[in-house]
Amino acid sequence: MMPSGVVKNNPNSNVVVMAAIESIFDIIDGEIFIMKEIPTSYNAPEIKPQEGFLYLTNYRILYKSTDRYPSIEQPVYAIGYIDIKRTKLPSQFDLICKDMSVLSFDINNEDLRKNFLIKIQQMTFATKTSELFAFKSKEKFKSNGWKIYDSKKEYKRMNLPNELWKLSDVNLNYEFCETYPNIICIPNDENTSITYDLHAVGEFRSKKRIPVLSWLHQDNKATLCRGSQPLIGVNRSSTNDENYLLCIVENTLHAAKLLLVDARPIANAVANKFVGGGVENARAYDNVKVIFQNIHNIHVMRDSVKKIKDIIFPHIDDDNWFLNIDQSRWLDHIRIIIEGAIKIAVAIHKKGQSVFVHCSDGWDRTAQLTSLSMLMLDPYYRTFEGFQVLIEKEWISFGHKFQDRSGHGDEKPLDGERSPIFMQFIEVVWHISQQFETSFEFNEIFLLEIVNCLYNCRFGTFLCNCEFERKNMKLEENTQSVWSLINDNKMQYLNPLYNHLSEKKVIIPVASPVYIQFWNGLYLKNNPLSWSPESLSIRSSELIELRNIYLKLNNLPIP
């Protein structure tokens, strides 16, 4: 018998086998095979082990069944950690992925198994960003996803700058705030008696992330601003910071007070005072109304989603399914985030009240609340292009720590910086789309693709922690954008039910447990019991084709 993992002696046979594998898995330009034809059994959830072969490339693990079981691919960079202790079988190992999916395999050959795991370990936990597959890929696309977002173009879409708000290049070289974009929108103080020193405001905000405009209501001119907590500590204050917020209030046409949404639980906000942070004092900020949204921190979210993994793998306990989901608190966290975004959208749209959102540093919970409320308020962000712009603006340019939160290059699965904050945002978008099925131009496959690309390191889009780091790494020159792939394959990501003609301008979902459900498409993607006999992508494509035929017929002249 031929040794496992070694290419067969017959070159013609090997060529035929590899050609078949490459056609099945659509090998990417720049992807190289490292190990081939490793005899294995895949321990699929809920069914008997499936015999087959493993292949390892410099980008992913490929599994091909010897029977009729579907093929599987798993990008190595999306693996969170490797568990070899769950069972007492020395040949078995589990690949715990960052999206909480799990793949379990058996490789009986000890030397081959060790070699396989060592190579995965070396790739998965590459210590340099430049070692990730995004820098090795040679893919070419018709679309240039790096051009999807232009900050000045987006501000212009919102009719900015205007007499109340101005664009500032104070951060042009990222010297004012390293984690902010180079162009920001701030209140115009030229037509008011209120004065402030912008640099003094920066010194009083965590990481110098001052309140800046994210979105402007075109009718009532109420604004949505984002920033970080004030560095109040036990007994500090800043007249410049107070005047800055007052200027935001003065630049709002209707409301007398600024609604400040602190995303944190009140206990956490107060506790931050003892480490130099805190929350705006009502006595000093008498023009501000503060509410707390009770969204827990990255550590709580990380622990909660790990409980989901334990619920779905290795077996699902049908009798205690609902109890276990409830005890994970994951769906409760989802509900609270939706509730917070609703409060913001209602305040801006129905009350004409400007809103300022912050958490501690303003790059996790803050991004969730601002982007979700903007999704509710502005139909543009619910379009195929607009959602890409929303992510580029509120998450990428405003410094969500993608590198740290995703754990790219981090070999410590328990590292305190890891957390599924952006994945949680995508999940909330899915929940809202379930309530408004005709209001989103994109479908579930689109959202799942984004989650996949968040972790797989195939593209440069979700690498690094801020715009400053991305420019230093020259990601636009050295890697491809995920939006290039998505825009080149637009048809498969479109929602056939989307109706832009009858769509409501503002959508307000219901934040009730009745409407919050478990996302099978994300968490049970490797569980055969959850698979539909009908392909979702094929069904969507067929419906879109039928819709297009209907629209063409509807536009024909009546004889």
Is beta strand 72-75 parallel, antiparallel or unpaired with respect to 212-216?
Answer: unpaired
Helix (H) or strand (E) holding 478: helix 475-478
E strands in 253-310: 258-262, 288-292
The distance between the two most distant Cα atoms of the chain, rounded to a whole number of Å, is: 87
Provide the sign of the torsion angle of the four alpha carbons 304, 308, 313, 318, taken in this order: positive
Q: Which residue has the tokens 């637009």?
A: 490
Rg from Cα positions in the chain:
25
Which residue type sits at 51? Answer: E
Residue 363 labelled as part of a binding site: yes
Closest CA to 65 of 46, 96, 39, 47: 39
Residue 362 labelled as part of a binding site: yes
- Phi and psi for 230 in degrees, rounded to 5? -75, 150
pTM: 0.92
Tokens of 203: 């010194």
Residue 185 labelled as part of a binding site: no
Which residues belong to the active site? 359
Enter the DSSP assignment of 363: S
User: Which residue ranges form the domains of the chain, and what is each CATH number?
Assistant: 11-124 (2.30.29.30), 146-546 (no CATH)
State the pLDDT at residue 3: 34
Instruction: Reduce the DSSP state of residue 176 to 3 states and report it.
Output: coil
CB 222 within 8 A of CB 348: yes
Residue 251 labelled as part of a binding site: no
CB 246 within 8 A of CB 291: no
State the pLDDT at residue 6: 36
State the pLDDT at residue 15: 59
Q: How many residues does the chain have?
A: 559
E strands in 345-458: 355-358
The full DSSP string for 75-112 is EGGGEEEEE--SSS-TTEEEEEETTS-EEEEE---HHH
Distance of alpha carbon 248 from alpha carbon 225, whole angstroms: 9
Distance of alpha carbon 273 from alpha carbon 220, whole angstroms: 35
State the pLDDT at residue 4: 37
CB 399 within 8 A of CB 465: yes
Residue 361 labelled as part of a binding site: yes
Residue 298 labelled as part of a binding site: yes
Distance of alpha carbon 136 from alpha carbon 29, whole angstroms: 9
Which residue type sits at 141? Answer: F
E strands in 388-443: none
Provide the sign of the torsion angle of the four alpha carbons 442, 487, 459, 380, taken in this order: negative
Produce one character per residue of 501-528: b if its CB has 16 or more CB atoms within 10 Å, e if not.
eebeeebbbebeeeebebbebbbbbbbe
Name residue 33's beta-bridge partners: 57
The full DSSP string for 329-396 is -HHHHHHHHHHHHHHHHHHHHHH---EEEE-SSSSSHHHHHHHHHHHHH-GGGGSHHHHHHHIIIIII
Distance of alpha carbon 387 from alpha carbon 375, whole angstroms: 8
Instruction: Reduce the DSSP state of residue 407 to 3 states and report it.
Output: coil
User: pLDDT tens digits for the chain (559 residues)?
Assistant: 333 343 344 455 455 556 667 767 889 999 999 999 999 999 987 788 899 999 999 999 999 999 888 889 999 999 999 998 887 788 999 999 999 999 999 999 999 999 999 999 999 888 889 999 999 999 999 999 999 999 999 999 999 999 999 999 999 999 999 999 999 999 998 878 899 999 999 999 999 999 999 999 999 999 999 999 999 998 899 999 999 999 999 988 877 799 999 999 999 999 999 999 999 998 899 999 999 999 999 999 999 999 999 999 888 898 999 999 999 999 999 999 999 999 999 999 999 999 999 999 999 999 999 999 999 999 999 999 999 999 999 999 999 999 999 998 766 656 789 999 999 999 999 999 999 999 999 999 999 999 999 999 999 999 999 999 999 999 999 999 999 999 999 999 999 999 887 667 999 999 999 999 999 999 998 887 766 655 555 566 667 777 677 666 666 665 5
Question: Interhelix angle for 421-435 vs 298-312, to 10°?
Answer: 70
Count of beta carbons in the 10 Å neighbourhood of residue 538: 10
Residue 108 labelled as part of a binding site: no
State the pLDDT at residue 411: 65
Tokens of 431: 């929940």
Tokens of 179: 């984690």
E strands in 151-252: 165-168, 184-187, 212-216, 223-226
CB 207 within 8 A of CB 243: no
Peptide bond into 211 cis (omega under 30): no
State the pLDDT at residue 408: 87
Helix (H) or strand (E) holding 35: strand 33-42
3 state SS for 124-141: HCCCCHHHCHHHCCCCCC
State the pLDDT at residue 16: 56
